[in-house]
Structure 1
C-alpha cells in the first residue's frame, strides 16, 4: 500500500537515496545530507508553527508500507521570495521600429524578474523510477492540492510550479550553455547544486539586469525555452489537468517553464469534498471509482488512493483503509475523484 504522510527525521537515509536517483536539474533535492537534514527540520518546524511565512515548507513522502520505505517526495513552499530573492526570466517582447526606414521588428527578450514573490510553490516532486506505475504519480502530485484545500489559510492566493527544463543524458543544458555559462563560468550541474544547497547569492551578483535578446542565443537554446525535461512531461500534464498554465516565465538556469494558477481555481481544490466515513467490511465492495482521500488532521496528515463509494455526505471504505487514514466511523476525510487524463 502507498500512503502519503509528513516527512520525519527517520526518512533522511531514504531521501538521500532518492536524491541520488533524481539526476541534474532538480535543484530542491540535492544529494547533500546536511541540506536535506535541514530541509526536514524546516518542514517539522513548519508543522509546529515555529517559522515565519517566508521560511515555511511542507514536505510529504510516499511510503511503501509493505517495505517500510520512502519511495517518493513532494513539497509546498508557502511563500517564495520573502526571505531571499526569487528569480525567473520573464519572456517578453521589445519592438524596434523606424518610420523613416520603414522598419518594424519585434524581438523576444528575457528579463530577470521577481514577479512571483509571495506566491506558494509546488516543488520537490520526485518518484523512484521503480514505482512509476499505476496511479502513484497522481497520488504524489495531487495530494498537495488536497492539503491546500483542507488548510487553505496557510497558503497564498496563487501557486506556481517551476518545471525541470531540458537537459540531455549527460546533464548538459542547452539553455545554460547559451546563457548562464557566459555570466557564471561554471558547469550547469555545479550551478544547479549550489542553488539547491541554498548558496544563491551568486545569482543576484552575476545575473544580467538588462534584457537578453533571445535571437542572440544558440538555436538549440532558443528551442528549449519553456520546454520540460522528458522525464518531467507527465508531471506537467498532471498540473495542466488541474488548471495550471504557462504564462511566460522560465527558470533562469535551464529555461524550464513556470506553471501558475489561482489556488481557488485549481480543480482538486474546487471539487474536493469534506465528507464523513462509513466503515463497512460487509457490503462494501472495492469496485467503485478511484478517489484520492486524506484525513482532516493537520498534525497527523495521511492520504492514499481508495476504491470506494462516495456520495454528497459519505465515503464508504473498509476498516483497513480507515486505520491507515487514522479515522473512525463518522470521522471526516477530504476526497476527490481521480480524472483519467493520460500521462
Structure 2
C-alpha cells in the first residue's frame, strides 16, 4: 500500500469525524463534532487559498490518504500563530527559593504559573493516526511531513514553534491533573471542559482561572505525578520531537498537564535539512530513503521514497514516489533524509 499526505478538503469531513471518535478524549484539535470539524476544514481551505507570504492567523489541515483505496487514515495540523483569536494559555513550572537565617533552612517551592509566553508561536499539532495503520512508519510520515510543509512555506510561519503533547488520561477518560488543579475552580469534569474548549475556545479559562501561582506541594499525589508527563501513546511522539530539536522547557497544558515542547523554527532538524531540487529522473531503483514533497499550499503532497542527487544538484527519485506525488522530469521536489 502507498500513502501520501495532502491538503484536507471539506469532502474529508466524514473521514475525520470517524477518526475523531477513536481518539479517546483529550484531543482538542480533533473533536468528535461535525460542526467544529467543518469550521476547521473551512478555515484550512481559507488558509490554503491565501497564497501571499504574509504571516497570519492560519490553520492548515493535512490528511494521510491511501492512494489505492482513497481512504483517509490519519491527519495533522499546523497553526501559523497561536493566541490570535483568544489568549494561548500554558502553565509554566517555576521555582521560588526562600531562606531563613534563624532556622538555617532553604526552602524551594515549585509552582505552576498561568502564562501566555508562547503567544505568536507556530504550532504543529492535531496528529492522529488510525489505530489500524500504526506500523510501517506512517506516524513518522505524518509528523515530519509537517516540517517539509513549513520549509516550503517558511514565510507563513513564526520563528518559534511548539508542539503540545496530550497528558495522562485515566481509564474513565478523566485527567488527574485537571481534577487536582483547574477542575476545583470550574465545577466541570475534564471531559466537559475539554469538549467545551474544542468547540468554543478557551476564553472561559481567562474568565474563571485563578491568576495566582499554584503551589505544587499543595496538590494531591495523583496530580503531582502527571505534571509534564505525556500520555503513554505520546511517548514515541515526544522522542520524535526531541530528535527534531524540540525541548520541554517547563510549559505544560492547562487542561491535562501534558508537556509543551518548543524549538526555534529554523533549527528544527527536518526544516533545516530540507532542500528543493529539480527532478532529473523518475526511475531510480536504489538510493537514500527519504521524505519527498511537492506542490504549494492546496497542491501540497508528501510521501516516502528514495532519492539520489546528481552532480548538477538535480534529484532522481523512484517510480512509485513519482507517481504518488504526480511529478515528472523537471518538476521541483523537496526532500529530507528519512
Query: Distance in 1 between the 2:250 and 2:201 partners?
Result: 26
| Cross-structure match for 1:164 | 166
The alignment's TM-score, normalised by the length of structure 2, stands at 0.95
Provide the C-alpha distance between the structure 2 equivalents of 1:10 and 1:132, rounded to a whole number of angstroms: 24
The answer to whether 1:275 aligns with 2:277 is: yes
Aligned 8 A contact 1:54 1:81 in 2: no
Tell whether 2:15 aligns with 1:3.
no
Match for residue 67 of structure 1? 69
Tell me, yes or no, if the aligned pair for 2:160 and 2:264 is still in contact at 8 Å: yes
Scaled by the length of structure 1, the TM-score of the pair is 0.94
Matches for 1:280-319 after TM superposition, within 5 Å: 280-281=282-283, 284-285=284-285, 287-311=286-310, 313-319=313-319
- CA separation of 1:326 and 1:154: change in aligned 2, threshold 3 A: same
In the TM superposition, residue 299 of structure 1 has moved relative to its aligned partner by 3.4
Identify the range of structure 1 (154-163 vs 313-322) with the bigger mean alpha-carbon deviation: 313-322
Q: Is the 8 A contact 1:7 1:40 kept in 2?
A: yes
User: 1:311 & 1:187 partners in 2: Cα distance?
Assistant: 59
* Aligned-pair CA distance for 1:288: 2.9
List gaps (5 residues or longer) in structure 2. none
Cα separation, 2, equivalents of 1:308 and 1:261: 28
Deviations along 1:274-327, one digit per CA (max 9) or x if unpaired, are: 11213343xx31x43321000143331111000333456232224443232132
Q: Structure 1 254/54 Cα, relative in aligned 2: closer, same or farther at 3 Å?
A: farther
Deviations 1:21-72 (Å, cap 9, x if unpaired)? 1111111111000000000000000111299955310110000112211110
- Is 1:5–1:303's contact at 8 Å kept on the other side of the alignment? yes
Q: Do 1:89 and 1:112's aligned partners in 2 also have CA atoms closer than 8 Å?
A: yes
Aligned residue for 2:21, secondary structure, equals: helix
Q: Is the 8 A contact 1:279 1:322 kept in 2?
A: no
Secondary structure of 1:63's partner? strand
State the SS of the aligned residue for 2:200: coil
* CA–CA distance in structure 1, aligned partners of residues 282 and 265 of structure 2: 34
Q: For the residues of structure 1 that align with 2:331 and 2:172, how far apart are their CA atoms?
A: 50
- Residue of structure 1 in register with 2:323 after alignment: 323
Post-superposition offset of 1:201: 2.3
Change (3 A) 1:96 1:318: closer
From 100, 117, 120, the equivalent of 1:118 is 120
1:79–1:155 contact (8 Å) kept in structure 2: yes
Aligned equivalent of 2:100: 98
Q: 2:199 aligns with which of 197, 200, 210?
A: 197
The aligned counterpart of 1:341 is none
Partner of 2:148, secondary structure, is helix
Size of the aligned set, in residue pairs, is 335
Which residue matches 1:46? 47
Cα deviation for residue 221 of structure 1 reads 1.2
Is the partner of 1:55 in helix, strand or coil? coil
For 2:161, what is the secondary structure of its paired residue? strand
Over the aligned positions, Cα root-mean-square deviation in angstroms equals 1.7
Shift of residue 270, structure 1, vs aligned partner: 1.1
Asked whether the 8 Å contact 1:54–1:80 carries over to 2, the reply is no
* CA distance in 2 between partners of 1:106 and 1:8 (Å): 51
- Could you report, residue by residue, the CA deviation over 1:47-98 in whole angstroms, capped at 9, with x for unpaired residues? 1129995531011000011221111000111100122100000000112322
**SS at 1:165's partner residue?**
coil
State the partner residue of 1:132: 134
**Kept after mapping to 1: 8 A contact 2:86/2:201:** no
Check whether the contact 2:227–2:252 (CA below 8 A) recurs between aligned residues: yes
Structure 1 distance, partners of 2:152, 2:282, is 25
Partner of 2:57: 55
